Amino acid sequence: MLTLQNLTKTFGDKTAVHKVSFSVDRPMMIGIIGRSGAGKSTVLRMLNRLSDASSGAIRFEGKDITRLKGAERRNWQSRCAMIFQQFNLVPRMDVVSNVLHGTLNRRSTLATMFNLYPDGDIHKAIEILDRLGIAEQAPKRAEALSGGQQQRVAIARALMQDPAIILADEPIASLDPMNAQIVMQALRRIHEEDGRMVIANLHTLDTARRYCDRVIGMRDGRVVFDGAPEALTTDAAREIYGAGTDFSEAATSTEIETLDRPEARPPEVFAEAFA
Amino acid sequence: MTGSALTGSNPTRSDHISATYVVQVRRRRMYGGLTLALFTLLMVSGFVVADGRNAGGFWAGWHQMLDFPADVLSEAWEKRANLPALLVKFFPALVETINIAAASTLIGAMAGLVLALLSTRGLAKWPALIPVFRRIMDVMRAVPEIVIALVLIFILGGGPVPAMIAIAFHTAGALGKLYSEVAENADLKPVEGLGSTGARWIQRMWLGVLPQVAPNFLSYSLLRFEINIRASAILGFVGAGGIGSELRHAMSWGPGRFDEAAAIFVLLFGAIVFFDQLSSRYRNKMIEGQ
C-alpha cells in the first residue's frame, strides 16, 4: 500500500534522513519514535510533500509520490492529511471555517476566498466536531480554545479532507497528560472506525506502545528499530535513544497511571540529580 | 471527560448547533455582499462626481492623455546623442535632491521613533499622554509637505533647508504611526525581564524593544526614503533646489528642452531602482541576523 525506498533528505552537507525504507501493506497505526533531530518530522513532511526528498521514492498504491507536481501534488496532499505539534490553525478564524479548510483542494479559489462553502460541507464539519466532542466550540475563534481543543479542531480539519493517511507530527507534545490521552484516543478511534492509516511521531515510548500496531525507531536519520510494540524492549529503547543504563522509561512518561506505579519515581533519581 | 472524546454524536444537539451556525454564516454573507455593493456604488458615484466637476471631462480628454509623454519621448529620441552629456550635467542636482531626502529621513525617523514609543500602549512612558502624542503625529501627517515648504521658503528664502525641514516634519508623523503599529506587536516579555533588573525606560526601549522591531523599522524607513526622494524632487518645483527645479525649467519651456526632461526622468528612475535594490539587500541581511 505505502512503500518508502531509500528515502533521503540532505540539508547542505547535513543528512537529516538517511536511506529510510519500510513498507506498510494495510491501514494500521504506526508510531515513529526517536530523539529530537532524529529525522522523524522530516520523514512526515516528505510524505505530505511539504518538503521534497533529496533521493529515494515514496510509493502509494503503485504511484511515486515524490515525482508529483502542481495540481497532482496538491491532490495527494489532500489525501494525506497532516496534524502538527503547534496545531497550525488560523487563529483569527472560527472553528468551523478552520475545519472547512480541509476542503480547500476541492473547491474553487474564488469561492473559498469569500468563505462561500456549501451548506452540506458546513453540516459535515459540525458533525465531525461533534464526533470529537467539541461541537459547542463551533462558532468561536480558534485562538480562544485550549490546546487540547485546538488539536481536536486540527484533527477535524484532517478528517474533513477524507484522507487515506493521517500524518501526526508530535500531536501531543504541547498538551497536558489528560488532553494528550483524549487526542491519542481520537486518533486510535479514527483508525479503527474509518480504517484510515495513521502515522504519528511520538516522543514518549509508552504512548507508542499503548496506541500503535507497529513502532519504527529512528536514530540520526536511520531506521534502527521496526517491529511490534511488544518487541520494544528497554534495550531496544536505549539503542533508539542512544541512552546509557541510567535510562528509565518511567522517568519521561506522561501517562497519568505512571504515578500509581511505585517504581515510577525512585527517590534516588532525584537525590542523584540534586547531589 | 476522558472517555467522552469520541462518544456517539447526539443528533438533536448537533443539528441545533449546525442550524445556528448556518444562520450566522448567512448573516455574515449578507453583510459581505452589502459591503461589496456599497463599495461599487461609491466607486461609480465618486467617478461620476469627479468627472462632472472636471473642466475638460474625462471622456473628451482621455485619449489625449498620452500626447505629452509621446512628445517628450519623440523629442528625446531625436536628440538621443545629448543624453549622456545631460545625465552628467544633472547628476549634481540629483545628489542635492538625494541629500535633502536622506537628511530629512534621518531626522524624521529619529523624531518618529520617540513619538512612536511614547504613543504605543504597553510601552509609553506616560500612558495618559498617548492620545496627545497620537494627535501630534496626526497633525504632522495632515499638513502637506508643500504647504510647510512654501511657508518656510517665504520666511527663510529658497534652498534645500526649507525642503528638508518640511519633509522631515511629515516623515516624523508618518513613520511614527508605522513604527507604533510595529511596536504594538512586539513581545513585552523581554521588556518585563529588563524591568525586573531595574532598567530605566530608555534602557528598556533601546535594549528590549528595538532589537525586536529593528528589521521592520529599517524597512519602513527605507520605503520612506524612497518616497522622500520623490517628495524632494517635487519641492524643487516650488523653489527648493535640486533636480526638481531643473525639471521645472526643462518642462515649462515647452518643446525644445524635452531631452533634458527625459534625462532627468531617467536619473530619478535610476535613483529609485538603485535605492530599492540597496534597501532590500540590507533588510534581508538584518532579518537573517548577519
Interface predicted TM-score of the whole assembly (ipTM), two decimals: 0.70
Using a CB-CB cut-off of 8 Å, the residues of chain A touching B26 are: none
CB contact under 8 A, A182 and B22: no
Question: How does pLDDT run across A209-261, given as a tens digit for each residue?
Answer: 999 999 999 999 999 999 999 888 888 888 888 877 676 666 666 666 665 65
Residue A30: which pLDDT band, with cuts at 50, 70 and 90?
very high
How far is Cα A7 from Cα A49, in angstroms, rounded to an integer?
13
- Given a cut of 90, is residue B52 above it in pLDDT? no
Please report the pLDDT score of residue B55 as a whole number. 67
pLDDT tens, position by position, A69-115: 888 999 999 999 999 999 999 988 899 999 999 999 988 888 888 88
| pLDDT tens digits for range A144-172 | 999 999 999 999 999 999 999 999 999 99
Q: Write the DSSP symbol of residue A141.
A: B
Nearest Cα of chain A lies from the Cα of B7 at a distance, in angstroms, of 7
Inter-chain CB proximity A139 and B2 less than 8 Å: no
pLDDT for res B234: 85
Three-state secondary-structure class, residue B253: coil
Of 3.30.750.24, 3.40.50.720, 3.90.930.12, 3.40.50.300, the CATH number of A2-273 is 3.40.50.300
> What secondary structure letter does DSSP report for A231?
G
pLDDT digits (tens, 9 = 90+) for B211-257: 889 888 988 998 899 889 888 888 888 777 788 888 888 877 766 77
pLDDT at position A102 is 93
- Assigned C-alpha cell, B38: 456599497
Picking from A126, A136, A186, the nearest residue to B18 by CB comes out as A126
Q: Which whole number is the average pLDDT over B102-118?
A: 95
Q: Which of A97, A116, A128, A131 to mutate against chain B (most B CBs within 10 Å)?
A: A131
A127 vs A275 pLDDT, higher one:
A127
Interface of B with A (CB under 8 A): 1-2, 4-7, 9-10, 13-14, 17-18, 20-22, 24-25, 28-29, 32
Identity of the residue in B5, B20, B32 whose CB atom sits nearest the CB atom of A133: B5
Contact yes or no for B5 and A186 at CB 8 A = yes
Q: How far apart are CA A21 and CA A8, in angstroms?
A: 9
Q: Between the CA of residue A121 and those of A195, A257, B15, B32, what are the distances in Å?
A: 22, 40, 13, 20
Q: pLDDT at position A156, please?
A: 95
Angle made by CA atoms B50, B56, B58, in degrees to the nearest 5? 55
Which of B6, B13, B21 has its CB closest to that of A96?
B21
Mean pLDDT across chain A, nearest whole number?
A: 88
Chain B residues with CB-CB distance to A126 below 8 A: 14, 17-18, 21
> Mean pLDDT of all residues in chain B?
85
Residues 6+ apart with CB under 8 A from A46: A7, A9, A17, A52, A53, A58, A66
pLDDT of residue A275: 46
